C-alpha cells in the first residue's frame, strides 16, 4: 500500500471518528433533554392528579366515617328501644299496632350525602343504600299514619297487621345485619 493512500485512509478514519463522536454527543444531549422534559411534564401533570386523588380519597374516608357513625347510632337506638323485639312479638289484643315517633330529619346524614355514595367502595355503597332503604320501609309502617300505627286504633287484630309485623321484623333484622356488616368491614 502506498504511503499516501495509507495517510488518506487514516485521515478519513479520523474524520469519521470525529463526526461519530460529535453525533453521539448530540444524540446524548437530545436523549437527556427528552428525559428531563418528560419528567417535568409528568410532574406538571402528575401533581394536580395526585392532589385530586388525595382530595377524593379524604372525602371518601370522611363520608364513610360520618355514615358509619349514623348507622352505629341508628342501630343503637333500635336495639335500646327494642323495636325489633316489638315487631317479632307481633300484635296482640291489648297492643294491636305499633307507632314510633320518627323525626322529619331522620336519616338526614344519608339523604344529604346520597349523591356522594359513589365515592365509596361498591360493597360499602351497596350496604349503605340497602340499610337505609330497608330502615325507611319499616319507618313508613310504624310512623304516625303508617299501617302499624293505624292498627292501634283498629277494633281487632287483622291478618294484614300480623303479616306486616312479620315482614317489618324481617326487614329490620336484615337492615341491622347489613349495618353490622358495614361497620365490621375495614375501610
Spell out the SS3 assignment of the chain: CCHHHHHHHHHHHHHHHHHHHHHHHHHHHHHHHHHHHHHHHHHHHHHHHHHHHHHHHHHHHHHHHHHHHHHHHHHHHHHHCCHHHHHHHCCCCCCCCCCCCCCCCCCHHHHHHHHHHHHCCHHHHHHHHHHHHHHHHHHHHHCCCCHHHHHCCCCCCCHHHHHHHHHHHHHHHHHHHHHHHHHHCCC
Range of the domain at 119: 3-184
**What's the pLDDT at 21?**
59
Position 136 scores a pLDDT of 96
Tell me, what's the pLDDT at 148? 93
Nine-digit cell at 89?
A: 312479638
pLDDT of residue 48: 72
Angle at 111 between CA 106 and CA 113, to 5 degrees: 135
pLDDT for the residue numbered 45: 72
Q: What is the tally of structural domains in the chain? A: 1
- pLDDT for res 153: 84
Mean pLDDT by 10 residues, the chain (187 residues): 67 59 59 65 69 82 96 97 95 87 91 95 97 97 93 87 95 98 94
Look at residue 124 in the predicted model and tell me its pLDDT. Answer: 97
Amino acid at each position: 500500500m502506498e504511503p499516501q493512500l495509507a495517510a488518506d485512509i487514516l485521515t478519513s478514519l479520523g474524520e469519521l471518528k470525529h463526526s461519530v463522536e460529535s453525533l453521539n454527543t448530540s444524540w446524548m444531549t437530545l436523549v437527556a433533554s427528552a428525559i428531563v422534559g418528560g419528567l417535568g411534564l409528568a410532574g406538571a401533570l402528575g401533581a394536580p392528579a395526585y392532589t385530586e386523588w388525595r382530595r377524593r380519597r379524604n372525602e371518601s374516608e370522611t363520608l364513610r366515617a360520618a355514615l358509619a357513625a349514623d348507622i352505629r347510632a341508628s342501630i343503637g337506638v333500635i336495639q335500646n328501644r327494642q323495636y325489633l323485639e316489638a315487631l317479632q312479638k307481633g300484635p296482640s289484643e291489648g297492643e294491636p299496632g305499633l307507632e314510633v315517633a320518627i323525626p322529619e330529619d331522620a336519616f338526614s346524614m344519608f339523604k344529604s350525602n346520597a349523591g356522594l355514595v359513589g365515592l365509596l367502595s361498591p360493597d360499602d355503597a351497596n350496604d349503605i343504600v340497602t340499610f337505609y332503604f330497608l330502615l325507611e320501609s319499616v319507618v313508613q309502617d310504624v310512623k304516625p299514619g303508617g299501617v302499624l300505627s293505624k292498627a292501634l286504633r283498629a277494633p281487632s287484630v287483622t291478618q294484614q297487621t300480623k303479616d306486616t309485623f312479620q315482614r317489618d321484623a324481617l326487614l329490620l333484622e336484615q337492615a341491622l345485619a347489613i349495618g353490622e356488616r358495614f361497620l365490621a368491614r375495614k375501610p
